[in-house]
């Protein structure tokens, strides 16, 4: 029997076939889970739909996580089609490009609110709608973060602040939802060449820096994040909640 046979998983945040969310999707699908996908806008739909259909997904829905009505429609469809939900993967983050290139102190109120809304509050909003569908199913909620939440990463700026809020949300949600049997965790992945990473100035230098200094002397790949996600979302991680698990070749342990 496969680890996730009979399980239902909703994936938010696939951008293309090189995204971490897609690597997680492949790992969950390979373990037997049935998947549903969302996309934000027509451009992303053109990338997400072929991938989703390629692994037999039938639920592929639009969702702007800054709009409560969009979130409500997604979970109403999941309830109607599946009757319940076992796994929620939140791999959504966004900040204005200028806020990732200028000094953090220059972040304006609108840019700060946008980064926090999309990158942090959206986890709370999705979890609130997912939990009723996870009743009696030992549900698992997983989000994606980065070490820029803990340490200063040049040019990560407001996104680092948003990720710090996201990680705090993981802990508070784990506390809130634990009595209902729902686990909430985060993976803090090392730098990987993705569409999101392309927006960070100096990203190539970041890759080189990490590969030189990480204990394993290399960068990681998205497949390694997918395998960790499978562990956390399956019964293998049944006693783990409220954690931020680093998948970064050990880079986070280094002081100098």
Catalytic amino acids?
146, 156
Q: Return all residues near 53 (Cβ < 8 A) that are at least 6 apart.
A: 60
């Amino acid at each position: 029997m496969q680890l996730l046979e009979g399980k239902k998983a909703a994936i938010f945040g696939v951008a293309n076939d090189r995204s971490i969310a897609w690597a997680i999707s492949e790992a969950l699908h390979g373990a037997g889970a049935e998947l549903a996908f969302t996309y934000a806008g027509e451009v992303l739909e053109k990338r997400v739909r072929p991938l989703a259909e390629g692994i037999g997904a039938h639920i592929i829905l639009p969702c702007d996580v800054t709009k409560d009505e969009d979130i409500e429609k997604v979970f109403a469809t999941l309830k109607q089609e599946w009757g319940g939900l076992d796994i929620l993967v939140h791999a959504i983050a966004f900040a204005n490009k200028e806020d990732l290139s200028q000094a953090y102190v220059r972040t304006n109120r609108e840019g700060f609110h946008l980064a926090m809304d999309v990158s942090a509050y959206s986890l709370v909003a999705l979890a609130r709608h997912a939990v009723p569908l996870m009743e009696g199913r030992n549900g698992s909620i997983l989000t994606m973060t980065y070490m820029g939440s803990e340490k200063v990463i040049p040019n990560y700026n407001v996104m680092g602040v948003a990720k710090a809020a996201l990680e705090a949300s993981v802990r508070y949600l784990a506390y809130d939802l634990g009595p209902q049997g729902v686990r909430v965790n985060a993976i803090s992945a090392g730098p990987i060449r993705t569409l999101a990473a392309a927006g960070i100035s100096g990203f190539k230098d970041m890759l080189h820096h990490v590969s030189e200094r990480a204990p394993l002397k290399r960068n990681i790949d998205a497949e390694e994040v997918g395998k960790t996600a499978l562990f956390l979302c399956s019964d293998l991680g049944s006693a783990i909640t409220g954690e931020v698990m680093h998948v970064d070749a050990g880079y986070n342990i280094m002081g100098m």
